[in-house]
Chains A and B, each alone.
Chain A
Amino acid sequence: MADSLAMKTISELAPLIEKKEISPVDVAVDILERIKLFDNEINSYIYVTPEERVIELAKNAETEIVSGNYKGPLHGIPLALKDIFSVEGEVTTIGSKIHGDYIAEQDATVVQKLKESGAFFTGKLNLHEYASGGTTLNEHYGACRNPWDTSRIPGGSSGGSGAAVAADLTIASLGTDTGGSIRIPASANGIVGLKPTHGLVSKFGCFPLSWSLDHIGPMTKNVTDAAILLEQIVGFDSQDATSIKAPKTAYQEALTGDITGKIIGIEESYFFKEVDNEVAELVRQGIQTLEKMGAKIEIVKAPSLKYAEYAEFMTLFGETALIHKKNMLERPEDFGPSVRNSFLLANMITSDQYLEAQQIRRMMALDFEEIWSKVDAIVAPTMPIIPFKIGENRVKINGEEFSAHHSLGRLNGPANLLGLPSIAVPCGFAQDMPVGMQIIGAPLSEATLLNLAYAFEQSNPLQGRKPNLTVAVSN
């Protein structure tokens, strides 16, 4: 397995496929072999596309490429997506029993764009039911496990995507992020996760959790792959009411590694409050690394962040209560117990509370507008803790006990509330588990964030380490 094609990145595979040195069929077969070997333990896939179909899709791509119709770096690349995106004619469960037989009539816009790029899919990945939670302890399709330590959670809600990318059970994936659901599993699994600016990537065909907080973005093995995927999935879409018309940006070309003069903001009172000391230290070391590379550091303040968690929960509750209203009334027993509880809580909200949350968002937007006049990005921990053991409900942070579930997403909500881009990138290990730091920027600053993350990645924070799946399976 040391030379497995499945362990390569998009940017490594693409030139080999383009030059016809390897076939997409070889990559697909390798992926399927690894799924057979390792996914019983990890449970990252809800559905694996039948082998014959995957081979057929890979051969189609190969034929196109051999015929001289190479489409670009995703042509012939097998991907697997979170099972929340509609794929025409296929079951899209959204990790639920209620949608267990739901067959989409039309591709989600991102699926359509990936198909147009020549990529194909090996299956659909596990998630927290209806994307409503950060553990991916799915009560219908089984818990997804962290490949670095299968007794621990992979984060969520895009936990299957995080685990599958880290374990080389797919080359790359897409996730969704309403309060950290791309960045949390990226951090927990030692991969890269990018939540773009709200509206930059169409959400059409993606089942909502909270319309104004939901985002779609890449989950990849490295920053270059995130740039490649982002470039393919962006674009205005009239089918998504929140879609925006943004200037076309060549994200891959932005990856120069030169960050001289870039100004990094550090916000202490919110982003470093109640953060595990080991995690905080790794992120501070990461900031120092960026400084050594030529960035400048500036302390920033955003007093309104004090109310960010309230705004996040009240916005989420208000919107999700309506989305699931009918099923909560007619078939509440078909939700998993923990998700049903969340949706019951969501129904406690009043219109006053929802609107207060929108006032807080406005206050935060003004605070951050001031920040963006001074700095290019804010660097912060992605999670305040390392991934906890499956089944744990309480965690200790520097000796003090907190709700495990609440702690997972605490540092991610502000970027969702404001629709700001944020990229999670690995920054080292604590207790043998990967730790991530997030780089948050002004709206539409993805190119800057990707380049900062790319520069940092050159410091090799994971030192080439990969999950030891042989050990995990034999345990």
Chain B
Amino acid sequence: MANYVYEQLTAKGLKVTEEECEALQVEWEFYLGLKYDFDDITENPADIFLTNTVAGGTR
């Protein structure tokens, strides 16, 4: 995963060391974990939120 993080960031031209990517990997995995079971829920594919209207246009 650290290697993946390194490849992903350097492919975008960003300066980062492989050592830095070790720590970034831990954080990135934490954020991915916050998705829980979203991939499995039946409402998907839901509509997306439009932000230029109040509350996404629900009012």
Contact = CB atoms under 8 A, between A and B. Distances in A.
A328 interface: yes
Contacts of A444: 54
Given A341-B24, A344-B20, A355-B48, A365 B56 contact: yes
A360 interface: yes
B18 interface: no
Contact of A348 (B9, B20, B46): B9
A244 B54 CA distance: 8
A362 B38 contact: no
Interface string B16-59: 10001001100110110011101000011111110111111011
A360 B36 CA distance: 12
Contact of A366 (B15, B23, B58): B58
Interface centre among B8, B9, B13, B58 (most CB of A within 10 A): B58
A348 B8 contact: yes
Contacts of A212: 51
Nearest to B52: A242
Given A307-B36, A358-B48, A361-B49, A369 B55 contact: yes
Contacts of A341: 20, 23-24, 27
Contacts of B51: 198, 211-212, 242, 361, 419
Contacts of A197: 54
B55 to A, nearest CB: 4
B18 to A, nearest CB: 13
Contacts of B58: 365-366, 369
Interface residues on B, range: 20 to 34
A332 B17 CA distance: 13
A368 B38 contact: no
A215 B50 CA distance: 16
Interface of B: 5, 8-9, 12-16, 20, 23-24, 27-28, 30-31, 34-36, 38, 43-49, 51-56, 58-59
Given A345-B24, A359-B44, A443-B59, 20 more contacts: A198-B54, A242-B51, A242-B52, A246-B54, A306-B36, A307-B34, A341-B23, A341-B24, A341-B27, A344-B24, A345-B31, A360-B38, A361-B49, A362-B56, A366-B58, A368-B55, A369-B59, A418-B56, A419-B51, A443-B54
Interface of A: 197-199, 211-212, 241-242, 244, 246, 306-307, 309-310, 313-314, 317, 328-329, 332, 341, 344-345, 347-348, 355-356, 358-363, 365-366, 368-369, 403, 406, 417-420, 442-444
28 contacts: A198-B51, A198-B54, A199-B52, A211-B51, A246-B54, A307-B35, A309-B34, A310-B35, A341-B20, A344-B9, A344-B16, A344-B20, A348-B8, A356-B35, A356-B38, A359-B44, A359-B45, A359-B47, A359-B48, A360-B46, A361-B51, A361-B56, A362-B47, A365-B58, A368-B55, A419-B51, A419-B56, A442-B59
